Structure 1
Amino acid sequence: MAFLNAVLAAKGMDLDAKGESNEQLRGHNPSYRISVQTDGKLLLGSAYTKKMNLQPGDEFEISLGRKHIHLSKVA
């Protein structure tokens, strides 16, 4: 096992690492596109809420642009 760990370390791989590099490998990157669900709702995924540091109960003002929907966080 020590030999295999040394080989992995030489290749720059650490299977026991617990850091930001492993966090970035999980999941997928947000595409910044969402679709309207069959019930007419827009579902904003957790990738977006984490990136915007949103908390449960945060409120937004919705404004319609020519081609976009803008969400502005209410302070």
Structure 2
Amino acid sequence: MTETATAPLIGKALLQKVKELSQLPRRERAKRCGYYTVTKDSQTRVNLTDFYHAVLEARGVPLSPEGSKDGRGREPTYRVSVHQNGQIVIGAAYTKAMGLKPGDEFEIKLGYKHIHLIQIDADKTEQTSVVEDEEE
């Protein structure tokens, strides 16, 4: 069982502190913002995941949007993987979110660690990025 040593910063206070500590390594920033626990044997564990979630929330990025969920099917994760046969399948949830219809065509452009699908139609200005770099 672990105990939280201090109350972690949230909101504008967190963003201000992160800005002040920008020269420090990320683990030290998280620790100084209160995102750590002390174990029974007095070891300090930094909670980077909680820290990143709090920073994103403070910046206004919704991590768990409360949209209209009907309880059926899976929620899109916005990640795909290559299947055994070498294909990448984009599910209906993604095509629906992008407003695509059956028969829509795309040009595939390969980049460094990403794939761009450029919709082929009268309005050629719309570009949809499908697979992006994976973050560490």
Shared topology, TM-score over 0.5?
yes
Q: Which residue identity lines up with residue 25 of structure 1 in the other structure?
A: K
1:31 is displaced (CA, Å) by 1.9
Q: Which runs of 5+ in 1 are unaligned?
A: 1-22
Write the distance in 2 (CA, Å) between the matches of 1:28 and 1:37.
19
Aligned to 1:66: 112
For normalisation by structure 1, the TM-score amounts to: 0.62
Write the distance in 1 (CA, Å) between the matches of 2:81 and 2:89.
8
Aligned to 1:16: none
Aligned to 1:34: 80
For normalisation by structure 2, the TM-score amounts to: 0.36
RMSD of Structure 2 on Structure 1 (CA): 1.6
Q: Return the index of the structure with the highest Cα Rg.
A: 2
Q: Which residue identity lines up with residue 108 of structure 2 in the other structure?
A: I
1:67 is displaced (CA, Å) by 1.4
1:28 is displaced (CA, Å) by 3.9
Q: Which residue identity lines up with residue 72 of structure 1 in the other structure?
A: I
Which structure carries more strand by proportion? 2
Aligned to 2:60: none
Q: Which runs of 5+ in 2 are unaligned?
A: 1-66, 122-136
